[in-house]
């Protein structure tokens, strides 16, 4: 390969890159950006208003579900404690008693 | 009004105030972007940069200038542009077109021949430059453009791109070698 020519070609391309004139903003650039920005801002507001509306509607059902889940967890915890106590008192024979306790 | 105040206004719900930021930084940002993507696509990338910046505006910390933060987003968009293009990259020389291929023939091998300035001003130089840069990996391209073509300091490039100094050096060296390989193959063709 002719290294001299390669150096010259590289030099020409560097000169061209450095000599590139900065572009002017095209007409309507700011308007175009702002149109999209406003649409995005609107979509963001829409999302949160829909979310808040849905959240308000589901608050009673959510509260009921949370209470039921809490109650079930409490009952299961009590049964498990009883089962462990039975097993520790009666050893392997307690398995029958435990089976009777399980919901 | 300074940029940090405008950002606060936008975040408080005054979306129209964002136009002040676009107006204040648009021309400079377009100038930077046009050195990293083909000039006919620069406005599109600048547009994407501003909309992306708007989406991420709540992550802007006024510790550094807003323009600096914007340039970082712009550079990432430029890298995305080349990543997208790399998926359908054409490495065939015929993609350059006959004018650019003929123009290469006019490159002298003798440094004393002169006339490089005239050659550099021709449209074909831009076509070849964009083609050659388009063959590089996006990060290599960024490093090469910023260090060799814009002549920015390595530390400045590292800061803007969020890279280590060593990474900038390696990328920039590797990119220049790749560019020379590409141009060498083109001359041997």
Inside any domain, residue A5: no
Residue A37's contacts (CB-CB under 8 Å, 6 or more residues apart) are: B15, B18, B50, B51, B54
Q: Are residues B81 and B97 in the same domain?
A: no
B140-175 in b/e form (b: 16+ CB < 10 A) is bbbbbbbbbbeebebeebbbbbebeeeebbebbebb
CATH code where residue B57 lies: 1.10.1740.10
Statement: residue A85 has pLDDT above 90: no
Minimum Cα–Cα distance from B132: chain A residue: A13
Instruction: Write down the ipTM of this complex.
Output: 0.76
Q: Count how many domains chain A has.
A: 1
B51 touches chain A (CB under 8 A): yes
CA atoms within 13 A on the CB side of A88: 6
The interface residues of chain B toward chain A in range 120-159, judged by CB-CB distance below 8 A, are 120-121, 125-126, 128-129, 132, 145, 148-151
A27 touches chain B (CB under 8 A): no
| Sign, CA torsion B99/B119/B131/B40 | negative
How would you write the pLDDT of chain B (189 residues) with one tens digit per residue? Answer: 789 999 999 999 899 999 999 999 999 999 889 888 888 899 999 999 999 999 999 999 888 889 999 999 999 999 888 888 777 665 556 677 788 888 888 888 776 666 788 888 888 888 888 888 888 888 898 899 999 888 889 999 998 888 999 999 999 999 999 999 999 988 887
Statement: residue A35 has pLDDT above 70: yes
Tell me which of B60, B89, B118 is where a domain ends: B89
What is the distance in angstroms between the Cα of A50 and the nearest Cα belonging to chain B?
A: 18
Phi and psi angles of residue B132, each rounded to the nearest 5 degrees, phi first: -65, -45
Q: Are residues B116 and B126 in the same domain?
A: yes
Q: Are residues B150 and B125 in the same domain?
A: yes
Q: Looking at residue B189, what is its pLDDT?
A: 75
B58 touches chain A (CB under 8 A): no
Q: Are residues B33 and B1 in the same domain?
A: yes
For residue B108, what are its two tokens? 């002298």
For residue B137, what are its two tokens? 């990996």
Inside any domain, residue A82: yes
Q: Where are the beta strands (DSSP E) in chain B?
A: none
Find chain B residues with C-beta within 8 A of A20's C-beta.
Answer: 34-35, 39, 126
CATH code where residue B163 lies: 1.10.10.10
pLDDT digits (tens, 9 = 90+) for B117-149: 888 888 888 888 888 888 888 889 889 999 988
Angstrom distance (rounded) from CA B102 to CA B98: 6
| Of B22, B51, B109, Cβ closest to residue A5 | B109
Angstrom distance (rounded) from CA A6 to CA B94: 19
When pLDDT is cut at 50, 70 and 90, the band that residue A62 belongs to is confident
Report whether B49 contacts B31 (CB < 8 A).
Answer: no
Inside any domain, residue A56: yes
Q: Are residues B135 and B70 in the same domain?
A: no
Q: Are residues B12 and B80 in the same domain?
A: yes
Inside any domain, residue A43: yes
Cβ <8 Å between A19 and B19: no
What is the distance in angstroms between the Cα of A26 and the nearest Cα belonging to chain B?
A: 7
Range of the domain at B79: 1-89
pTM of the predicted structure, to 2 decimals: 0.67
Q: Are residues B97 and B188 in the same domain?
A: yes
Inside any domain, residue A1: no
Q: How far is CA B129 from CA B43, B83, B135, in A?
A: 19, 18, 10
Inside any domain, residue A22: no
């Amino acid at each position: 390969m002719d290294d001299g020519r390669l150096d010259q070609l590289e030099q020409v391309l560097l000169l061209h890159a450095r000599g590139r004139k900065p572009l002017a903003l095209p007409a309507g650039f700011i308007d175009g950006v702002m149109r999209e920005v406003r649409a995005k801002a609107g979509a963001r507001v829409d999302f949160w208003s829909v979310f808040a509306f849905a959240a308000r509607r589901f608050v009673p059902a959510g509260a009921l579900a949370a209470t039921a889940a809490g109650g079930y967890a409490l009952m299961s915890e009590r049964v498990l404690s009883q089962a462990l106590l039975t097993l520790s008192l009666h050893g392997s024979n307690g398995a029958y008693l435990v089976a009777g306790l399980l919901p | 009004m300074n940029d940090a105040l405008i950002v606060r206004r936008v975040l408080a719900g005054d979306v129209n105030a964002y136009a002040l930021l676009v107006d204040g930084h648009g021309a400079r940002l377009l100038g930077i972007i046009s050195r990293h993507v083909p000039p006919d696509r620069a406005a599109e990338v600048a547009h994407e940069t501003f909309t992306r910046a708007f989406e991420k505006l709540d992550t802007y910390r006024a510790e550094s200038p807003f323009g600096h933060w914007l340039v970082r987003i712009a550079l990432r968009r430029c890298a995305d542009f080349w990543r997208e293009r790399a998926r359908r990259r054409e490495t065939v020389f015929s993609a350059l077109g006959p004018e650019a291929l003929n123009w290469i023939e006019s490159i002298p091998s003798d440094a004393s021949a002169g006339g490089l300035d005239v050659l550099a001003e021709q449209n074909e130089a831009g076509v070849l430059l964009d083609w050659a840069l388009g063959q590089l990996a996006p990060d290599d391209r960024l490093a090469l453009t910023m260090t060799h073509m814009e002549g920015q300091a390595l530390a400045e490039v590292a800061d803007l791109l969020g890279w280590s100094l060593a990474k900038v050096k390696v990328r920039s060296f590797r990119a220049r070698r790749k560019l020379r390989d590409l141009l060498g193959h083109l001359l041997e063709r």
